[in-house]
């Protein structure tokens, strides 16, 4: 593994772990990156972007005031944007800055401990222009956005509504006299709230508003709206805009609020790929599917699966390396204190994080390929695969973000007290990833979208109609007998599918019972939503497990024997872990016995011991440079205690021997003079 400094002194425990590793680390890096070519390209990009030291701060971000933090993030965003235009675009194979890629995203993380104020420009503004504009509109807006002549965001959520998009209150009323839309915020709850970069950074945004023309409401539609002067950056008349204040994370993203007072924009600023308003105010629906204006959200949900896999890889790298250098307790009085990584409970906390990072990374690539296929079909006017894809991307977004947030927190627990330090890097990772569970569609809400699809698919299976690929297992849901338990990987995946089918069947049965007892369909659905969420979760686990297993078998077909073994161990660990987490469900829906579960627990514990010697090698294979980890605990050299002390000494509190608080408060209080 290449490191920036080849002459570094490495902590002896870490050096010993690396010597113990029995597989070719680089081969696993290639698997994680999706091939050797990708690894080489990533490294080139990282070298250019990071070797100059431009990503570093003189003073740690955590010691800055909110205003300084924001300005510093803008400064570095501009440096990175300029690098993208000049050096990185060609290297990354991208035509220009703006069309981001996972590699560019992950490299950018070296510049920010939190996030860039440009995240929404790249993540949603540019993709919306690409996905929702007519070709003419695109040719006007896209070059300006890609070249960063304008900076934008995506303002959909309002104070009063985020989930329920149809409930948004901002209005865009067409005036045929002037051929303009009049944007208005009729209530406090209609103020746009949350959009990243809106507070201070952007001068344009996509605004989602209820479209009125000829006195009729046509539902929510996207508009491109200038909110600040292109030269002075002063908010334009009729615009009320500001920053929403401190948050748990995202503090360098200047999330903002926005209100309109009868603010006029040209007719052409409605994004008209899917629906149009003609000059005379006639509304014309173009799209064949009613939800295509939700396209940017679907895109970001797909991107997020990759994003959280990467962040989980970071957290597990930090926690595993730290666990290799940390020694604590003395279970055997005559021996030295063991590395905490030797405790089986510690392995139980950490190895699932490594396996999940792999599972999500491979699922994200597969999801991206499925998305590309759906987009290609839609280009030809066929939207048949969209419902299945919406169900799939919804549950994968929900489960990947939720699992990653949980496992990152588990990595923090695994680092004891030091994991609570901002300098460990884990709190920032957690704050970032826990937000992903909420934004771009809340966890529960998205799983309920998947559940709608599952229930419909179940009814199709019942009627012996054909099923789409991800739910084809529902065809076996009516055999009447419980699925046969078998602890092989394929057997466990079949059991996960049986759980999903069984849970869906229970929901359908309960809803039907409730409706027979007099409840409306809506109320019967509502009463069953706890189980519906559980069914969607089970479906998603089955999809992840199946995809992870198939992809690893495919990707390791030509790998060296030890790489095959260790990758197989990780996938098996993932399957055992989730089977053991769901023993109650397995007992309900499969033939598993108490003895089978006891045996599975033992097999799981033995698997942890087998993976243990390769644990550091496995996280080294994520190949995360120190600049990306921002961690005193997780650096490649393992100089944990030295770095913790170096960081402590940087604290502004240590600048003077006696704090001003002594003379102001402590002394008067102690001398009884307060």
Ligand X SMILES: Cc1cc2nc3c(=O)[nH]c(=O)nc-3n(C[C@H](O)[C@H](O)[C@H](O)COP(=O)(O)OP(=O)(O)OC[C@H]3O[C@@H](n4cnc5c(N)ncnc54)[C@H](O)[C@@H]3O)c2cc1C
Enter the tokens of residue 332: 């055997």
Where helices occur in 84-125 by DSSP H, the ranges are 89-91, 102-108, 119-120
Taking contact as CB under 6 A, which single stretch among the options 191-199, 219-227, 512-520, 639-647 is the one that binds ligand X? 191-199
Taking contact as CB under 6 A, which single stretch among the options 183-191, 298-306, 307-315, 431-439 is the one that binds ligand X? 431-439
Enter the tokens of residue 407: 């496992």
Catalytic residue, chosen from 62, 440, 537, 551, is 440
32 or 310: whose CB is closer to ligand LYQTPAFP?
310
Can you give the length of the chain in residues?
A: 674
Enter the tokens of residue 620: 């080294």
Taking contact as CB under 6 A, which single stretch among the options 193-201, 392-400, 450-458, 642-650 is the one that binds ligand X? 193-201
Assess 243 for contact with ligand X (CB under 6 A): no
Assess 435 for contact with ligand X (CB under 6 A): yes
- What's the min distance (Å) between Cβ of 389 and ligand LYQTPAFP? 8
- What's the min distance (Å) between Cβ of 416 and ligand X? 28
Query: Which residues here bind ligand LYQTPAFP, judged by CB under 6 A?
Result: 100, 105, 119-120, 122-124, 154, 156-157, 162-166, 196, 291, 294, 297-298, 300, 303-304, 307, 386-387, 390, 439-441, 445, 449, 452
State which of positions 466-525 bind ligand X (CB under 6 A): none
Q: What angle do CA 361, 247, 243 make, to 5 degrees?
A: 110
Residue 490: other Cβ atoms inside 10 A: 12
149 or 163: whose CB is closer to ligand X?
163
143 or 266: whose CB is closer to ligand LYQTPAFP?
143
Residue 438 interacts with which of ligand LYQTPAFP, ligand X, none, CB < 5 to 8 Å by class: ligand X
421 or 511: whose CB is closer to ligand LYQTPAFP?
511
Residue 155 interacts with which of ligand LYQTPAFP, ligand X, none, CB < 5 to 8 Å by class: ligand X
| Annotation marks residue 440 as catalytic | yes
Q: Is the dihedral of CA 437, 439, 445, 449 positive or negative?
A: negative
301 or 643: whose CB is closer to ligand LYQTPAFP?
301
273-301 b/e with 16+ CB inside 10 Å = b? Answer: bbbbbeeebebeeeeebeebbbbbbbbbb
Residues 471, 468: Cα–Cα separation, whole Å: 6
State which of positions 157-176 bind ligand X (CB under 6 A): 157, 161-163
State which of positions 366-385 bind ligand X (CB under 6 A): none
Half-sphere exposure of 453 toward its Cβ, with a 13 Å CA cutoff? 26
- What's the min distance (Å) between Cβ of 511 and ligand LYQTPAFP? 14
Residues 617, 613: Cα–Cα separation, whole Å: 8
Residues 107, 625: Cα–Cα separation, whole Å: 10
Enter the tokens of residue 297: 């959200």
Among 45, 73, 83, 120, binds ligand X (CB under 6 A): 120
Assess 442 for contact with ligand X (CB under 6 A): yes
Q: Is 27 in contact with 560 (CB distance < 8 Å)?
A: yes
Where helices occur in 8-125 by DSSP H, the ranges are 12-20, 25-33, 36-50, 66-83, 89-91, 102-108, 119-120
Enter the tokens of residue 41: 């390209």
Assess 194 for contact with ligand X (CB under 6 A): yes
Residues 122, 80: Cα–Cα separation, whole Å: 13
Burial-class residue 329 by CB neighbours within 10 Å (0-12, 13-18, 19+). exposed
468 or 601: whose CB is closer to ligand LYQTPAFP?
468
298 or 421: whose CB is closer to ligand LYQTPAFP?
298
100 or 495: whose CB is closer to ligand LYQTPAFP?
100
Where helices occur in 124-214 by DSSP H, the ranges are 126-132, 135-146
123 or 199: whose CB is closer to ligand LYQTPAFP?
123
- What's the min distance (Å) between Cβ of 582 and ligand LYQTPAFP? 26
Residue 563 interacts with which of ligand X, ligand LYQTPAFP, none, CB < 5 to 8 Å by class: none
Distances in Å between the alpha carbon of 192 and those of 133, 186, 588?
A: 22, 12, 46
Assess 204 for contact with ligand X (CB under 6 A): no
Enter the tokens of residue 520: 């409306």
Distances in Å between the alpha carbon of 71 and those of 59, 64, 112, 200, 201?
A: 13, 10, 12, 10, 10
- What's the min distance (Å) between Cβ of 119 and ligand LYQTPAFP? 5
Residues 92, 106: Cα–Cα separation, whole Å: 12
The DSSP line for 410-421 is HHHHHTGGGGGS
Closest CA to 101 of 88, 117, 113, 116: 88
Among 64, 78, 91, 445, binds ligand X (CB under 6 A): 445
- What's the min distance (Å) between Cβ of 661 and ligand LYQTPAFP? 39
Assess 433 for contact with ligand X (CB under 6 A): no
Among 92, 156, 434, 559, binds ligand X (CB under 6 A): 156
Catalytic annotation, residues: 440
Q: Which residues bind ligand X (CB under 6 A)?
A: 120, 153-157, 161-163, 194-196, 250, 255, 435, 438-442, 444-445, 448
């Amino acid at each position: 593994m290449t490191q920036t400094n080849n002459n570094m002194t490495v902590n002896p425990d870490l050096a010993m772990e690396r010597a113990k590793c029995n597989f070719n680390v680089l081969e696993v890096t290639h698997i994680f990156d999706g091939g050797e070519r990708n690894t080489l390209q990533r490294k080139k990009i990282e070298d250019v972007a990071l070797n100059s030291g431009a990503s570093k701060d003189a003073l740690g971000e955590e010691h800055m005031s909110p205003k300084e933090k924001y300005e510093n993030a803008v400064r570095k965003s501009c440096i990175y944007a300029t690098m993208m235009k000049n050096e990185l675009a060609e290297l990354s194979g991208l035509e220009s800055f703006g069309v981001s890629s996972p590699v560019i995203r992950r490299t950018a993380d070296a510049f920010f401990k939190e996030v860039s104020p440009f995240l929404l420009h790249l993540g949603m503004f540019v993709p919306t222009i690409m996905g929702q504009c007519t070709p003419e509109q695109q040719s006007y807006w896209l070059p300006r956005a890609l070249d960063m002549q304008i900076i934008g965001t995506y303002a959909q959520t309002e104070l009063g509504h985020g989930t329920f998009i149809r409930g948004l209150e901002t209005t865009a009323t067409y005036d045929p006299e002037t051929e303009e839309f009049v944007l208005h915020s009729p209530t406090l709850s209609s103020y746009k709230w949350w959009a990243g970069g809106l507070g201070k950074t952007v001068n344009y945004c996509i605004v989602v508003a209820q479209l009125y023309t000829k006195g009729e409401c046509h539902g929510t539609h996207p508009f491109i709206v200038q909110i600040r002067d292109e030269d002075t950056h002063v908010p334009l008349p009729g615009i009320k805009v500001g920053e929403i204040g401190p948050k748990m994370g995202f503090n360098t993203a200047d999330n903002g609020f926005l209100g309109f007072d009868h603010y006029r924009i040209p007719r052409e600023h409605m994004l008209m790929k899917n629906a149009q308003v003609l000059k005379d105010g006639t509304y014309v629906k173009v799209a064949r599917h009613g939800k295509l204006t939700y396209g940017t959200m679907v895109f970001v949900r797909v991107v997020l699966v990759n994003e959280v896999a990467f962040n989980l890889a970071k957290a597990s790298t930090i926690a595993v390396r730290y666990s290799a250098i940390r020694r604590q307790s003395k279970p055997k009085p005559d021996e030295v204190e063991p590395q905490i990584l030797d405790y089986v409970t510690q392995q139980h906390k950490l190895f699932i994080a490594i396996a999940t990072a792999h599972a999500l990374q491979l699922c994200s690539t597969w999801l991206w390929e499925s998305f590309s296929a759906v987009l290609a079909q839609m280009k030809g006017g066929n939207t048949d695969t969209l419902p299945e894809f919406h169900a799939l991307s919804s549950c994968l977004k929900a489960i990947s973000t939720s699992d990653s947030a949980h496992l990152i927190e588990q990595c923090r627990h695994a680092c004891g007290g030091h994991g609570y330090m901002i300098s460990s890097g884990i709190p920032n990772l957690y704050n970032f990833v826990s937000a992903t569970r909420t934004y771009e569609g809340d966890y529960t809400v998205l799983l309920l979208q998947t559940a709608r699809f599952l229930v419909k698919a179940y009814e199709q299976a019942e009627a012996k109609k054909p099923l789409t690929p991800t739910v084809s297992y529902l065809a076996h849901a009516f055999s009447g007998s419980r699925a046969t338990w078998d602890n092989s990987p394929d057997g466990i995946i079949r059991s996960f599918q049986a759980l999903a089918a069984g849970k869906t069947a229970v929901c359908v049965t309960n809803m039907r019972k409730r409706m027979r007892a007099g409840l409306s369909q809506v109320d019967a659905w509502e009463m069953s939503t706890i189980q519906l969420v559980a069914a969607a979760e089970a479906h998603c686990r089955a999809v992840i497990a199946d995809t992870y297993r198939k992809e690893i078998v495919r990707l390791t077909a030509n790998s060296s024997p030890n790489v095959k073994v260790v990758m197989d161990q990780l996938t098996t660990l993932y399957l055992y872990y989730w089977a053991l987490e769901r023993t109650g469900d397995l007992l309900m829906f499969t033939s598993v016995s108490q003895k089978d579960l006891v045996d599975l627990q033992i097999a799981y514990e033995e698997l942890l011991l087998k993976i243990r010697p390769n644990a550091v090698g496995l996280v080294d294979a994520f190949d995360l440079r120190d600049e990306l980890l921002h961690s005193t605990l997780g650096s490649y050299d393992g100089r944990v205690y030295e770095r913790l002390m170096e960081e402590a000494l940087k604290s502004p509190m240590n600048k003077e021997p006696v704090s001003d608080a002594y003379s102001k408060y402590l002394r008067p209080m102690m001398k009884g003079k307060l």
